[in-house]
């Protein structure tokens, strides 16, 4: 089905704008953002108008807001994002909710004059859909508890209970993990490995 995949996926090996953040976006995960920098307002407006995607990548150095003389560095795997909701916030800023779609490797990152980063995106193969194994059933209950949080409810997440790929990604998005750990979960290529890694992380924190 690899030929069909490229029809579905207009993003194969093409240029995409990047939004470096201090947070990891998981495929199928959702984040709410406040947009105030000019370069990102332009990016977001364009994405809303054309229903286009941009990439969200974890910062390893520098800040989300550009500071003169501070080098921006980020990881080399990103997740494409689309805007699923937006609102004008009481503080006058634009608030958006984004949802992660596909993982891609970043090649040839370069900055435009306005500071916006662009790169060539090499899209990863889609993870297989794997039914959630019986012994991992307790993950569903945990995800449902996380989804009851008012902040999460505002994001409008549909809780996954059967598919290990979606469930592992949603857990990785919603659990209060250090972003470096969340990034390591994001780049794993197998959902059962991801669930096992989440289990190991949680047991470390409980010690």
Q: Does any domain span residue 92?
A: yes
Identify the domain containing residue 104 by its residue range: 2-123
CATH number of the CATH domain containing 40: 2.30.130.40
CATH number of the CATH domain containing 149: 1.10.4060
Same domain, 94 and 139: no
pLDDT digits (tens, 9 = 90+) for 83-99: 999 999 999 999 999 99
Select the more confidently predicted residue: 154 or 206: 154
Q: Domain ends where: 123, 156, 173?
A: 123
Q: How far apart are CA 34 and CA 90, in angstroms?
A: 11
- The mean pLDDT value for 164-168 works out to 95
Q: Is the pLDDT of residue 9 over 70?
A: no
Same domain, 158 and 76: no
Q: Does any domain span residue 74?
A: yes
Q: What is the pTM for the complete model shown?
A: 0.89
Reduce the DSSP state of residue 69 to 3 states and report it. coil
> So what's the pLDDT on residue 12?
55
- The mean pLDDT value for 41-63 works out to 93
Lowest-confidence pick of 37-41, 63-67, 141-145, 166-170 = 63-67
Question: What are the tokens at 31?
Answer: 């984040």
> So what's the pLDDT on residue 6?
38
The percent of residues in the chain predicted with pLDDT above 70, rounded, is 91
pLDDT bucket at 162, cuts 50 / 70 / 90: confident
Q: Does any domain span residue 129?
A: no
Same domain, 97 and 158: no
Q: Does any domain span residue 24?
A: yes
Same domain, 26 and 90: yes
Same domain, 18 and 119: yes
Q: How many domains does the chain have?
A: 2
- The mean pLDDT value for 194-207 works out to 90
Q: Which residues contact 117 (CB under 8 A, 6 or more apart)?
A: 17, 18, 20, 72, 109, 110, 111
Q: Does any domain span residue 17?
A: yes
């Amino acid at each position: 089905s690899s030929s069909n995949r490229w029809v579905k996926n207009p993003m194969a090996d093409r240029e995409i704008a990047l939004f470096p953040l201090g947070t990891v976006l998981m495929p199928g995960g959702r984040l709410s953002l406040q947009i105030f920098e000019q370069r990102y307002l332009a990016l977001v407006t364009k994405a809303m108008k054309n229903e286009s995607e941009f990439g969200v990548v974890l910062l390893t150095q520098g800040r989300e807001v550009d500071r003169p003389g501070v080098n921006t560095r980020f990881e080399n795997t990103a997740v494409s994002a689309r805007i699923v909701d937006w609102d004008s916030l009481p503080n006058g800023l634009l608030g958006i909710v984004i949802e992660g779609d596909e993982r891609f490797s970043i090649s040839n990152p370069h900055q435009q004059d306005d500071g916006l980063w662009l790169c060539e995106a090499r899209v990863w193969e889609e993870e297989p859909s794997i039914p959630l194994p019986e012994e991992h059933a307790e993950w569903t209950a945990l995800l449902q508890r996380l989804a009851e949080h008012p902040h999460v409810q505002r994001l409008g997440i549909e809780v996954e209970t059967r598919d290990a790929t979606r469930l592992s990604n949603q857990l990785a998005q919603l659990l209060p993990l250090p972003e470096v750990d969340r990034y390591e979960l994001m780049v794993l290529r197998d959902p059962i490995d991801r669930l096992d890694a989440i289990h190991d992380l949680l047991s470390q924190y409980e010690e």
